[in-house]
Structure 1
Amino acid sequence: MPLISSTGARSGLDLEGIIKATLDAQRIPKQNRLNQQEGRLQVELSAVGEMRSVLSNLQSSAEKLTESSLFSAMKASVSQPESGNVISVESSENANTGNFDIAVTQLAKGSRAVSADGAFASSDTVVNTNAGALTFGAGTESFSLDLAAGSTLEDIRNAVNNSEDNFGVTADIINTGTEAKLVFRSNVSGAGNDLIVSNDNAQLDAVSTVANAGGAGGMAIAVDDEATDAIIEVDGIQATNDTNIFADVIQGSTITALKDSEGTETAQLSIARDDAGVKKSVDEFVKSYNSVVSSLNEMGAEGSMLQGDATVRGLKSQLNSVLTSTFGDDQTLFDLGFGLDNDGKLTQENPITNVSEVLSDNPSALQSVLGGENGLASRMDTFLNGYVGAGGSLQMRRDSINDSLDRVSDSRESLQRRMESMEETLRSKYQALDSLVGQLRDRGDYVSAQLANLPGFTRDND
C-alpha cells in the first residue's frame, strides 16, 4: 500500500505525476502483453469448445447409422375408412411386407351385471344386517370384499371402487326416479369371461350374480351385456381374440381394433421397409458433417486467429480421408450417390445418381457402406472418439489452454504485487526528497525574511 497519498505537497513538485509515469512505464507494456496473451487463449479455447461440440454431434449422428435396426425397420401405414379410425398398427423389423384390407367385425368388451327391478328403493337402502363378503371373478382374475353389517347400496359401491385388490370392476348406482339400480362393469373381455359375483351371506344375494345357496342371484347379465371376443377380418379371413389387441395375425405386426367397421368398409394397411427413417438418419449425418466442415473452414480462414493451426488442418485432412475411403466390396460413398461440393461439404447427389435412388434400388449396399461392421459410420465414430472422447486430443488441448490461462492470471497477480512494491519504494524515496526540498524552501524563506528585516536592506523588485 502507498505510504502517502500526496507526495510533493511540501516541495510543490509534481512528484505524484512522476510516480504514476514511472509505474505506468513498467506496468502497461507487461499488462498489454498479458491482455493479448489472454485474448489469444480465450479465442483458442472458444474454438476448441466449438470443435468439440460439432464433432460430438457428428459422432452422435454416425452412431445412429450403426444401429442394426435402422435398415431393417418396417413401417406400417394405415388408410382409414371415411367413418373414422377402425385400427392402429405397429410393425417390428420381422414384419411381413404387403398390403392388406382389414375390417373390424366386433370389439372385445367386458360384461355388465345389473340389479333386479324393484330391489332397492334408493342408494341408502340397507342391503345386509349381518357382516358378509362378496367375491368378484372374471376369467382368471378375482378379489374379495368384506362388508360390515348395515352396509347400504352406496357403501357397497364405494367399497368396490376403493378396493386395492380390485382387478377392474366398476360399481355405479343409477337413480331412475323410482328406484336405484346397482351396476357392476368388468373390464375383463373375451367370450366366457362374464363377471361372477358370489357371497357367503344370503342377505347379499341381491348384489350377487350367484345366490348363496346356488342358482341365480339378484344381479343379471343380459345377452347384450355379456363379455365378447374381438373379431377382425384380414383380406376376408376372420381372426378372433379375447382383447382388442391382435399380435402376429400378420407376422411381426400388432393390430389394435378401435371401433366396428361400418357396412363393408375396410382399412387399408401397407407394411414396407422404413426408408423414411433411413433417410432421416442420413440427412442428420450429412448436416452434422457439413456443420463440422463450415466450422473448420471458418476457423482456418485467412486472418483467423487459428489460421494455420495444426489441429484444424489435421482434422480437415483426416475427415476427408475417412469420407473418401473404400468400404465393403470396394465401394465408395460416391458409388452410392454422395458427392462433395467446392467447399468440401457432403451432398446426396452426384452426376451419376443420388442417395434416394440407391436407397430405393439397392438398400443393402447403402447399409453395408454406411452402417456395416467396418462402414463409414463405424470408422467415423472410432476416429472422432480420439478427439472428443475421454482423454481425447481436444480435451487435452482444452486442459492445456486452461493451464495457460491460470498462468496468465498468476502473472497478473505477480505484476500487481511488483507494482505495489515499486510504488511503496518510489513513494518512500520521493517522500524523503519532498521533505528535503521542503526544508530547503523553508530555510530559504527564513533567510529571506531575516535579510529583509536588516537596517538599510532593500529588496530589488526589478
Structure 2
Amino acid sequence: MPLVSSLGARSGLDLEGIVSATLNAERVPKQNRLDQQEGRLQVELSAVGEMKSVLSKLQEAAEKLSSGELFSAMKASVKQPESGDVITVESTEDAGVGNFDISVTQLAKGSRAVSADGAFANSEDEVNTNAGSLTFGAGDESFTLNIEAGSSLEDIRKAVNSSQDNFGVTADIINTGTEAKLIFRSNVSGEGNDLTVTNDNAEFDAISTQANGGGAGGMSIAAADKATDAIIEIDGIQAKNDTNIFEDVIQGSTITAVKESEDAETAKLSIARDEDGVKKSIDAFVKAYNGAVASLNEIGGENSMLQGDATVRNLKGQLNNVLTSTFGEGGQTLFDLGFGLDKEGKLEAENPVTSFSEVLKNNPAALESVFGGENGLASRMDSFLDGYVGGGGSLELRKDTINQSLDRVAESREDLKLRMESMEETLRAKYQALDSLVGQLQSRGNAVSAQLSNLPGFTRDND
C-alpha cells in the first residue's frame, strides 16, 4: 500500500507534485496503450457478434427453404356461406387440386337418455338400499361404476362425472319444480352408437336403459336424442362418418363439419399449391441475405476499424459464390428465376428479363429445383454458413480469441496498477528521507542565524 503522508511539509518543497508527475509519466503512456488496445478489441468483438447474428438469421431462412415440404405443400382456402362457418379444412402435400362445393346436412352427435316422468321427486331421493353397479356402454367404449348402498340421485350424478374410467358420459339433474329428471349424455357419436346402461341390481332399473330382468329400463332415448352420423355433400355426392371429422374424403384433406348448412348454402373449397408459403419463405431469405450484405459492407467499409478485414472480405466473396452457383439438372442459376443483384451486392426479386413472381406463377418446379433438395441453393447456403456460425465455427473461435485478448488487457491493467503502487511506495520513501534531511538542515541554518544575530556588532542584511 502507498505510504500516506504529506511530502514537503518539513522542507517546504513540492515533493507531492514531483511524485505525481513521476508516476503519471510512467503510467499514462502505458494506460493509453491499454485503452486503445481494449477499444479496438471491443469494436472487433461487437463486429463479430453482429456478423454472427445476421448470418444466423440467413441460415435460419435457408433452412426453411431447404425443406422439401415447402414446395410441395398444398393450401386449402374456404369461402364460407353468409350464415357462418360450416366446415374447416386442412390439406397435406398429397391433397388433390381442385374446387369443391360442400354443404353439411347433419352433424354427428352422441345420444341422450332421460329418466321416466315421475320417477324421482328430487335429487335427494334414495335410489338403492343395497350396493350394486351400473355399466355404461356406447360403440366400442364401456366402463362399470360401483354404487354404494343408500345412494341418492345426486350421489350417483357425482359418481358418474368423477369416475376415472368414464369414456365420455355426463350425468345431469334437471329440477322441473315438480320432479327431478336424471339425464345421461354420451359423447360417442355415430348411428348405432346409442348409450346403454345396465345394472346388476334391479333397484337401478329406474336409472338404466335396460332392466335387470330384461326389457326396457326407466331411462329412454327419444328419436331426436339418438346418436347420429355426420353427413356432408361434396359437389352433390353424399359422405357419412361417425364423427364430424372426415379424413381423405377428398384425397389428402381433412374436413371438419362445424354446423349444419342453412337452406342450400355451400362452402366453397379451393385446394391449390401453397404459393403464398413459398413466396413468404423466399422473401424472408432475400431480406436476410440483404441484411447480411448490408452489415458486412458497413463492418468492412471505408474508415471502419475492420476495413480490409480478411474474415469480412472472405465472407462477402463466399456468399456471392454460393448465390451465383448453378443448381439442378439443367444448371440453372438464381438469375434464371427472375432474381438480380444491385451494385451493392444485394439480392433483388426481379431482373430485366423476368421476375420471381412470374416464375412462381408459371414454373414453380424451377424454383424447387434451384432452392430445394440436398444440393440446392438453400442447402448449400446452410452448410456454408454453419462453418461460420455453428458450434466451433470460425466466428465463435474468433470471439474466443478476442475475449482471451481482453482478459490479457485486464491482467495488464492489474499489473500496471501493482507496479504503480510499488513505485509510489519507493518514491515516497526516498522523498520522505529527503524531506526530513532538508528540514533538518533548514532548522540548523535557522538556529545558526539566530545565534549570529545575537552577537555584538552583527548586522542582519535585510536586502
TM norm structure 1: 0.99
Amino acid of the residue matched to residue 41 of structure 2?
L
**CA deviations over 1:352-408 (Å, ceiling 9, x no partner):** 111111011111111010112211111111111111112111111111111111111
Give the gaps of 5 or more residues in structure 2. none
DSSP 3-state at the match of 2:127? strand
Q: Retained in 1: the 8 A contact 2:76–2:90?
A: yes
2:126 corresponds in structure 1 to 126
Is 1:336 matched up with 2:337? yes
Amino acid of the residue matched to residue 438 of structure 1?
G
Distance (whole Å) between structure 2 residues aligned to residue 438 and residue 252 of structure 1: 105
2:44 corresponds in structure 1 to 44
DSSP 3-state at the match of 2:71? coil
1:263 corresponds in structure 2 to 263
Matches within 5 A, 1:114-263: 114-263=114-263
Matches within 5 A, 1:91-110: 91-110=91-110
**CA deviations over 1:169-216 (Å, ceiling 9, x no partner):** 001100111101000000000011000001111011000000000100
Q: Retained in 1: the 8 A contact 2:122–2:179?
A: yes
Bigger CA drift: 1-10 or 154-163?
A: 1-10
2:411 corresponds in structure 1 to 410
Amino acid of the residue matched to residue 462 of structure 2?
N
1:427 corresponds in structure 2 to 428
Quote the offset at 1:12 in angstroms: 0.5
**CA deviations over 1:226-259 (Å, ceiling 9, x no partner):** 0001111111111101000000000100000011
Distance (whole Å) between structure 2 residues aligned to residue 219 and residue 231 of structure 1: 28
Distance (whole Å) between structure 1 residues aligned to residue 442 and residue 342 of structure 2: 84
Quote the offset at 1:457 in angstroms: 2.6
Quote the offset at 1:136 in angstroms: 0.5
Quote the offset at 1:451 in angstroms: 1.3
Quote the offset at 1:306 in angstroms: 0.7
Amino acid of the residue matched to residue 454 of structure 2?
N
Quote the offset at 1:344 in angstroms: 0.9
DSSP 3-state at the match of 2:68? coil
Distance (whole Å) between structure 1 residues aligned to residue 139 and residue 406 of structure 2: 73
Distance (whole Å) between structure 1 residues aligned to residue 5 and residue 47 of structure 2: 46
DSSP 3-state at the match of 2:264? coil
Amino acid of the residue matched to residue 415 of structure 1?
L
Distance (whole Å) between structure 2 residues aligned to residue 271 and residue 166 of structure 1: 40
Q: Retained in 1: the 8 A contact 2:67–2:373?
A: no
Q: RMSD in angstroms over aligned alpha carbons?
A: 0.9
Distance (whole Å) between structure 1 residues aligned to residue 258 and residue 434 of structure 2: 102
Bigger CA drift: 447-456 or 337-346?
A: 447-456
Amino acid of the residue matched to residue 365 of structure 1?
A
Amino acid of the residue matched to residue 57 of structure 1?
K
Quote the offset at 1:264 in angstroms: 1.0
Is 1:393 matched up with 2:394? yes
Amino acid of the residue matched to residue 191 of structure 2?
A
Amino acid of the residue matched to residue 436 of structure 1?
L
DSSP 3-state at the match of 1:5? coil
DSSP 3-state at the match of 2:70? coil
Distance (whole Å) between structure 2 residues aligned to residue 39 and residue 438 of structure 1: 47
Amino acid of the residue matched to residue 418 of structure 1?
R
2:22 corresponds in structure 1 to 22
Distance (whole Å) between structure 2 residues aligned to residue 234 and residue 359 of structure 1: 30
2:310 corresponds in structure 1 to 310
Quote the offset at 1:458 in angstroms: 3.1
2:295 corresponds in structure 1 to 295
**CA deviations over 1:125-176 (Å, ceiling 9, x no partner):** 1111111111100001111111111111111111111111111000110011
Quote the offset at 1:420 in angstroms: 1.1
Is 1:356 matched up with 2:336? no
**CA deviations over 1:401-438 (Å, ceiling 9, x no partner):** 11111111111111111111111111111111101100
Distance (whole Å) between structure 2 residues aligned to residue 422 and residue 339 of structure 1: 66
Distance (whole Å) between structure 2 residues aligned to residue 422 and residue 103 of structure 1: 94
Distance (whole Å) between structure 1 residues aligned to residue 324 and residue 242 of structure 2: 56
Distance (whole Å) between structure 1 residues aligned to residue 259 and residue 440 of structure 2: 112
Amino acid of the residue matched to residue 174 of structure 2?
I
Distance (whole Å) between structure 2 residues aligned to residue 245 and residue 235 of structure 1: 18
Distance (whole Å) between structure 2 residues aligned to residue 314 and residue 152 of structure 1: 83
**Identity across the alignment (%):** 77
Distance (whole Å) between structure 1 residues aligned to residue 392 and residue 268 of structure 2: 54
Distance (whole Å) between structure 1 residues aligned to residue 5 and residue 215 of structure 2: 112
Distance (whole Å) between structure 2 residues aligned to residue 155 and residue 391 of structure 1: 66
Give the gaps of 5 or more residues in structure 1. none
Amino acid of the residue matched to residue 81 of structure 2?
P
How many positions carry a matched residue from both structures?
462
DSSP 3-state at the match of 2:232? strand
**CA deviations over 1:433-455 (Å, ceiling 9, x no partner):** 10110000010111111112223
Bigger CA drift: 215-224 or 312-321?
A: 312-321
Is 1:276 matched up with 2:276? yes
DSSP 3-state at the match of 2:69? coil
Distance (whole Å) between structure 2 residues aligned to residue 247 and residue 3 of structure 1: 89
Distance (whole Å) between structure 1 residues aligned to residue 399 and residue 5 of structure 2: 44
DSSP 3-state at the match of 1:395? helix
**CA deviations over 1:308-330 (Å, ceiling 9, x no partner):** 11111111111111111111112
**CA deviations over 1:238-283 (Å, ceiling 9, x no partner):** 1101000000000100000011111111111000000111011101
DSSP 3-state at the match of 1:128? coil
Distance (whole Å) between structure 2 residues aligned to residue 4 and residue 84 of structure 1: 88
1:436 corresponds in structure 2 to 437
